[in-house]
């Protein structure tokens, strides 16, 4: 298992480029889906999922409400079984290999609340990402303390480490959630709508943080998103759930008016400004 320091400026993961943290050329894909389908509650959610996601990339998962984005994350985490096909996550079946202990995968759920309750301090919530249970709080080692401090510093959360999670704003909670996800120094981080309910500044800061984790540490990032605009600066591609099927394309293939209009069921215009900025809007 690779163990990058979560502080983006100080170290790189094993096997990554010493300069950028990027995945080595020819590295095996982080995710492989081969003709995968998923059934929940007796209904087919999506099928024919055949794609690979390169190690060291940033990939969005997009689709309309109920199309199965969260379901895809749960398949990757081994929390929802597939009905057919084959999935490989960092070279193993979901929930198998090193990822069974979740050490090499970090997960930021939608609407984060600490699994030990909101009354615990942010520091202890992040510590849960290492120990997995609240009873270890009293037996924390020096190394664990350092790792939590580094994770909090990486997400700019040192200033509220001692405050209770219940007293934090949405943006602060999101940072704690990400710190908890990266404290075990994972190779893959999956986030479920991390920008929802954040103001524009906090969105910008979280996106910059994801960019640094990816660029400096080579962490592969998978992020469920409703709005691609705030993520465009860091994205390499997207998985899109269209008409009940799961596809993957590089960003240039996804930023397409016909595809996005079909995907969201409303006319989407892709705008490129003379300054080279790119964004999408509903018209």
Ligand X SMILES: Nc1ncnc2c1ncn2[C@@H]1O[C@H](COP(=O)(O)OP(=O)(O)OP(=O)(O)O)[C@@H](O)[C@H]1O
Provide the token pair at 131.
């120990």
Site for ligand X in 26-45 (CB under 6 A): 40-41, 45
CB of 33 to ligand X, least distance (A): 15
As measured in angstroms, the least distance from the Cβ of 180 to ligand X is: 21
Per CB under 6 A, does 252 bind ligand X?
no
* Interface with ligand X (CB under 6 A), residue from 30, 49, 62, 69: 69
Locate 244 and state its tokens: 């009940």
Q: What is the DSSP string of 178-223?
A: HHHHHTT--SEEEEESTTTT--HHHHHHHHHHHHHHHHHH--EEEE
Instruction: Based on the shown chain and the rule CB under 6 A, indicate whether residue 63 belongs to the binding site for ligand X.
Output: yes
Q: Is 12 in the site for ligand X (CB under 6 A)?
A: no
Can residue 49 be called a binding residue for ligand X (CB under 6 A)? no
Pairwise CA distance, residues 90 & 151, whole Å: 22
Give the DSSP H or E segment for 31.
Answer: strand 31-40
Under rule CB under 6 A, residue 82 binds ligand X: no
**Applying CB under 6 A, which part among 13-21, 68-76, 174-182, 211-219 lies near ligand X?**
68-76
- Options 28, 66, 117, 253; binder of ligand X; rule CB under 6 A: 66
- Residue carrying the six token digits 């800061």: 205
Binding test (CB under 6 A) with ligand X, winner from 7, 67, 150, 214: 67
Q: How many residues sit close enough to ligand X to count as binding (CB under 6 A)?
A: 11
Give the range of 69-77, 124-132, 199-207, 229-237 binding ligand X by CB under 6 A. Answer: 69-77
CA distance 5 to 8: 7
- Cα angle 77, 92, 35; round to 5: 75
- Residue 194 found at the interface with ligand X (CB under 6 A): no
Distance CA 22, CA 36 (A): 28
Nearer to ligand X, 5 or 193 (CB): 193
> Hey, what are 75's tokens?
């398949």
Q: Which residue matches tokens 């939608």? A: 110
Minimum distance, C-beta of residue 61 to ligand X, in the bound complex (Å): 8
Exposed (0-12), middle (13-18) or buried (19+): which is 272, by Cβ within 10 Å? exposed
d(CA 209, CA 154): 8
The reply to whether 68 sits near ligand X by the rule CB under 6 A is yes
Return the range that interacts with ligand X (CB under 6 A); candidates 62-70, 137-145, 163-171, 247-255.
Answer: 62-70
Q: Is 106 in the site for ligand X (CB under 6 A)?
A: no
* Binding-site ranges for ligand X (CB under 6 A): 40-41, 45, 63, 65-71
């Amino acid at each position: 298992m690779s163990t990058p320091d979560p502080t983006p400026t100080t170290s790189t993961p094993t096997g990554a480029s010493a300069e950028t943290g990027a995945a080595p050329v020819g590295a095996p894909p982080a995710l492989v889906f081969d003709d995968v389908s998923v059934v929940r509650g007796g209904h087919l959610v999506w099928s024919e999922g055949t794609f690979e996601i390169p190690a060291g990339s940033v990939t969005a998962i997009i689709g309309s409400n109920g199309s199965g984005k969260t379901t895809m994350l749960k398949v990757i985490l081994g929390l929802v079984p597939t009905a057919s096909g084959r999935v490989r996550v960092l070279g193993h079946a979901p929930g198998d290999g090193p990822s069974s202990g979740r050490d090499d995968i970090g997960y930021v759920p939608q609407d984060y609340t600490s699994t030990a309750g909101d009354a615990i301090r942010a520091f202890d919530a992040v510590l849960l990402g290492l120990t997995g249970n609240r009873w270890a709080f009293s037996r924390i080692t020096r190394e664990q303390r350092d790792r939590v401090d580094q994770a909090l510093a990486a997400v700019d959360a040192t200033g509220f480490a001692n405050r209770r999670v219940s007293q934090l704003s949405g943006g602060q909670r999101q940072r704690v959630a990400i710190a908890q996800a990266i404290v075990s120094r994972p190779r893959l981080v999956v986030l479920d709508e991390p920008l929802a309910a954040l103001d524009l500044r906090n969105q910008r800061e979280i996106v910059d943080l994801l960019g640094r984790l990816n660029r400096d540490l080579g962490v592969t990032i998978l992020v469920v998103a409703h709005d691609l605009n705030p993520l465009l600066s860091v994205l390499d591609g997207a998985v899109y759930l269209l008409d009940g099927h799961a596809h993957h394309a590089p960003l240039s293939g996804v930023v397409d008016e016909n595809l996005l209009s079909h995907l969201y069921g409303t006319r989407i215009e892709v705008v490129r400004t003379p300054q080279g900025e790119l964004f999408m809007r509903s018209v």
